[in-house]
Structure 1
Amino acid sequence: VSQGEVVNLIHGHKSLDGAQEIVPGIYCGGERDAIRAVRDDQLTSSDFRFFAGCMVWQPGQLAEEIAGGGWISAASSRSLVLKQCLGLPTPLWKEAMELMGGEYGATARGVYGDTKP
């Protein structure tokens, strides 16, 4: 991560000071408490997901991009969003798309050269 780059932290721990619920059971923030909890062996680094960078949209721009097929909006479970994704036999993006089924599953299989339905 370069200096000045935005890093977001998501997790499932509402007890962290500064954590804000973004959807039921999933929280953003609480970095200082997260560092302390990992340092004190109360939590592990795998309890957190880090995202470097960010996207910024003008009002209405994201809705337009979704309508134009540039993004896919999907409901998801807490367990899938917070799933440890390092070393999985199937990439997490592919798993999520296959769970959506239909054209989304077919797209994911096509990207990875998997022809079985």
Structure 2
Amino acid sequence: MIQITSEQRRSLRARAHGLNPVVAVSQNGLSDSVLREIDISLKSHELIKIRVFEDDRNVREEYLSQICEKLRAAPVQHIGKLLVVWRPSEEEDGKAAKAHRPPHSARTGPRRTKRSFQGDI
């Protein structure tokens, strides 16, 4: 299980706020196929939400600890029936992964400008 600081946890919770659950754990529990899907999702996204259809909070907490132990991930949040899990990408060699995206204002193509119509009035 990866240990994260409270600042990292706060940042990851903020990033996870707008995410939808990508994996669901149903009445069959935490099977090998579910763990495989979680692993694939973590490789793709690093930060995921998991919905657990279990009413017992202790069982959900056990699922969270099993997922983090088996998949070398960090527990970010357990709120209601949602679990938030984070694992840095393998490219980052275990360092805290940050999104390396260009800012929203960065453009890759030609810039379009507004043209005003100056016709006969």
TM-score of the two chains, using structure 1 as the length reference: 0.23
Q: Greater relative contact order (Cα 8 A, min sep 6): structure 1 or 2?
A: 2
